[in-house]
Chains A and B, each alone.
Chain A
C-alpha cells in the first residue's frame, strides 16, 4: 500500500500513474470542450441563428473545420512587430494559457475524479483566473501598437471591475455550503434537501438565483465576450490586445478564451447546478451507493459535460444577441448595480443561514 495511493474497482495505481493520468485528463478537460463548443456553437449554432449554414466544406457538415483552422494557424508566419518587446510579446499567450490550465485543477468530475482537492478550491480558482489579466496587459504593452495598448488597458479595467461581483456572487454559495472546496460544494448539493425532501438534492441555483445571475454576467465580462467586448471592439481597436498576434500565438489566445469559457461553465455547474451529481432519485435508482458509487467517476464527467454545454450555450447565445456596452455603462453596471446586488445577496444569505 505504501506506494499505491489510488484504488478503483480493486485495481491499485502508483503515485506517478495517478499523476500522469491527471495530467493527461487536464489536457483533455481543457481542449476537448474547447474544440467541441467552438465547432458546435461558434461555427454551427450561431450560423443557424443568423440564417446561414456556417462551415460545410470540410468533412460532413463541416465537422473537420477545426482541423483546417488548426492547420491554417500553425503554418502561418509568426510575425513579431519590429518595435515589439520580443520576450514579453512571446510570453504573453503562455501566461493566459497557464491561467486556463490552473483553473481546471479545482473542477471535480466525480466523487474521486478530481485533479487536486484543494481545501480552498473556489478561492484558488478565482485567484488564478485573475492571472490571465497579466497576460493580456503584457500582450497589449509589448505589441508596441496603440490599438493593442488601449485594448489591454480596457481589458484590465474591465476585468478588475467584474472580478469583484464574480467573487462576491460565489460568497453566497460558500456560506450556504459551509466550505470553500468545490468538491464539498458539490457534495452538499447532492446531499441537500428541500424542506426535508432530498429527491433532487438542493442545487444552489434554487436558493442562490441572484448569485447565479451575477456570476454568469460577471463570467461573460471576464471572458470579454459581447456585450462586454470593449477590449477587442473590432470597429474601434481592430482586435485590441490581439491585434499584432498571428499564427500559433493568436491560436493560443483563441484557445485560452474559449477554453476558459468552458471551465467557467464547469465551475458555474459545480457551484449552482449540482456539479457531477445526478439528481439523487435518479442516482439511487441506478447505483447502490447513489451519487457516491465508484461508477459516478465515469458518469460524472458526462453529467458535467451536459451541464457545461447548457451553460456554454447561454454564454454564446448572449454573446451573439446583445450589442456592445459603452465603456462608462460597462463600469457603472459593475460598480453601481452588480456589486451592491451581490453584497445584498451575501447579507440575506448570511441572515438566513443564521436563522435556519
Chain B
C-alpha cells in the first residue's frame, strides 16, 4: 500500500529543508542542465552538417525537445508545454509534412549544401557575441536559486494579461496579419 503521496512542491520543500540535500539538488539540476545542453548542441551541429533534409528536420526536433527539457529544469512548466505544443507538435510537424511531400529522398543528398558557409559562420559568431554580451550585462554572475518551485500558471497569465498586455495584443495582430497574408499569397483567384 505504498501509494505515492508526495507532490512536486513537497519534494522541493523537502530538498530545501535539509541542508545536506541542497548540494545534491544543485548537483542533480546542474547535471540535467548539462546533459540537455550537450544534447542540444550536438544535435544542432548535426542539423547543419547532415546532408539529408529530413534528418536535419529531425535533429532540429531534438534541439527543440532539449530546450523544452531545460525549461522544465528551470521550473517553467508552462513554457515547456508551450514549446512542445507549438514547436514540436505544430511547426515541426508542418515542416516535416512539407519536406516529405516535396523533396524527401532517402539517403544522402549531395546538393544539400550551402556554399557561403563562411558568411554563415560570421553571422552566427556575431549573434553569439551580441547574445553573450547582453546576457552577461543583464545577469553577470547571478545564480539561480536551487529551490526553484515550479512557476504557477496563474502568475504567467496574470503577467501576460496585465504587464505585457500591449506586446501580447500587438503580437496577436501581427500573427493574424501573417495568417491573412499567407492565405492571400497562396490563393490568387
Contact = CB atoms under 8 A, between A and B. Distances in A.
Contacts of A117: 7-8
A134 B21 contact: no
Q: Which 3 A-B pairs have the closest CB atoms?
A: A130-B89, A2-B18, A127-B85
Contacts, number: 145
A133 B89 contact: yes
Interface of A: 1-9, 11, 13, 15, 17-18, 21-22, 25, 83-85, 88, 110, 112-120, 123-124, 126-128, 130-131, 133-134, 137-138, 140-142, 144, 149, 152-153, 156-157, 159-160, 163, 180, 294, 297-298
A356 B18 CA distance: 46
A9 B93 contact: no
B18 A88 contact: no
Contacts of A15: 6, 11, 14
Interface string B98-126: 00110010110000000000000000000
A133 B93 contact: yes
13 contacts: A5-B6, A17-B2, A18-B2, A18-B5, A25-B4, A88-B54, A117-B7, A117-B8, A127-B82, A134-B61, A153-B100, A160-B97, A297-B5
B93 A85 contact: no
Contacts of B18: 2-3
Interface in B38-95: 54-55, 58, 61, 77-78, 80-82, 84-85, 88-90, 92-94
B111 to A, nearest CB: 18
Contacts of A133: 89, 93
Interface residues of B, number: 43
Contacts of A11: 1-2
A88 B107 CA distance: 11
Contacts of B94: 160
B96 A137 contact: yes
B89 A298 contact: no
Contacts of B100: 137, 140-141, 149, 152-153
Contacts of B54: 85, 88, 141
A8 B5 contact: yes
B10 interface: yes
Nearest to A301: B3
Contacts of B93: 130, 133-134, 137, 156, 159-160
B153 interface: yes
A149 B103 CA distance: 12
A2 B101 CA distance: 56
A13 B11 CA distance: 12
A123 B2 contact: no
Nearest to B11: A5
Contact of B101 (A120, A142, A153, A298): A153
Nearest to A140: B100
B89 A119 contact: no
A9 B77 contact: no
B172 to A, nearest CB: 16
A13 B106 contact: no
B17 interface: yes
Given A115-B4, A141-B106, A160-B93, 13 more contacts: A1-B17, A2-B20, A5-B14, A6-B4, A21-B3, A112-B5, A117-B8, A137-B93, A141-B54, A142-B106, A160-B94, A180-B153, A298-B1
Given A2-B14, A15-B14, A130-B93, A138 B58 contact: yes
B97 A157 contact: yes
Contacts of A7: 5
